[in-house]
Structure 1
């Protein structure tokens, strides 16, 4: 924009117009500069926010990944611990005829429970108590009832002698030696955690009838059940009504107290 000549008759008017145009131009420039600054700051802020968002998202993703990893590791540890707890082990018990019996249990410390019993050869009569903490084995060759606890300790809980009402003492070893076919004891079964039932020809020596006896495994007391006898007696499964007893074809249910029902 050229400056007007001072000799021009419109000099004053042109100078005013010139100043107005300069002011407009300056204002326009300032406006443009202001808009540019605002735009640049806004764009910069968006870039920063985007960058921060990416950083935050990355941190969240990392935290989520770490949490998932930790959860997976905890789950794997829990599964490993559970598998270790359920790991099976066993005890070996030898019978009088030399056969090995394997008693399998799972768990550790106070959580151990018996799972199964198996003979290396042939069959073995056994029973596991309701809490799975004890097993009874019947050693047929020796006519012995063996109690094995969850720690693998073995006890012979057979009644070694019988004292008649007249005071006569009959020793197990002597009776079986003189009459090998005599049934001193047979087929032991748990009535509950503290009592077992077994079959015997006691208290008679010269008869073939069989009877059911109950032994308390704590005090080793032996009591005959008066209401059950027969030539053929079988002890079956433990039910809510009691132990199943089949005597000469008739089914009874017997409890640890010795009560019998049909």
Structure 2
């Protein structure tokens, strides 16, 4: 702003106007500065609030709630059931069935002794039975009607009766009978009665009847004996008890011991 000349006749008026302008500009500048400061302060306050909110949210996500009562407890570790991404195979002996499936006779070790436990996988629904000592197991191969005996050392043998000799002396082989009559029950559902004997269901000694009977096989000498006094259209072999193996024949339940004796 140009200062007026002292030689001007309007010097006094010009000086007054100049002072008013200076005061006005000064006040305006102060107002502008105040507004500018307030605006900047408001912006920083908003930024601060946003930052505080974000930090608080992040902290809540990262911080885990600790229960003072359980602060020293750890979550139980899961038992490893897989090996290299695959289901861990149980200890046992593989048995290849005639339908192409492979099952495992699973055993466990107790006091340095192997004891049979089960057949795996269970969903194959294979009929089997373990001896009282769990040192032996019989498995039924349904497709070819074969009874497979296996011991805890992995030794396997087919103990199915290969042929039947009638009272007249006629010899009937298992293979020829099943070939001519596939639905015929040569043997089924083997069950241990004791360590040396198993019971099984069969339509023998008749070929033209649907009646079922119980036979006992001695695993040592491979002899097969027909049980007298048990026959029926619907026969099942159940659990082994102190009286012997449970037999249900057409609704009647009895117990069969290794000698062929029947009790109720």
- Equivalent position to 2:100, from 98, 101, 109: 98
Deviations 1:71-100 (A, max 9, x none): xxxxxxxxxxxxxxxxx6211111111111
SS in 1 for 2:124: coil
Please, which of 185, 188, 196 is the counterpart of residue 187 of structure 2? 185
Aligned to 1:137: 139
Segments of 5+ residues of structure 2 without an aligned counterpart are 1-89
Mapped contact 1:99–1:121 kept (Cα < 8 A) = no
* Unaligned runs of at least 5 residues, structure 1: 1-87
- Residue by residue over 1:86-138, the C-alpha shift from the partner in whole angstroms, topping out at 9 and shown as x without a partner, is xx621111111111111111228971111111247521000111000001000
2:80 aligned partner: none
Match of 1:124 among 118, 121, 126: 126
Q: Which has the higher helix share?
A: 1
Q: Could you give the per-residue CA deviations for residues 158-207 of structure 1, whole angstroms, max 9, x where no partner exists?
A: 00000001100000000000000000000000000100000000000001
- Give the 5 Å matches for 1:108-257: 111-119=113-121, 122-257=124-259
TM-score by length of 2: 0.64
Q: What CA distance in whole angstroms lies between the structure 1 residues aligned with 2:138 and 2:251?
A: 26
Count of aligned residue pairs for this structure pair: 175
Rounded Cα–Cα distance in structure 2 between residues aligned with 1:173 and 1:183? 12
Cα RMSD, aligned residues only: 1.5
Deviations 1:33-85 (A, max 9, x none): xxxxxxxxxxxxxxxxxxxxxxxxxxxxxxxxxxxxxxxxxxxxxxxxxxxxx
Q: Distance between the aligned counterparts of 2:238 and 2:193, measured in 1?
A: 11
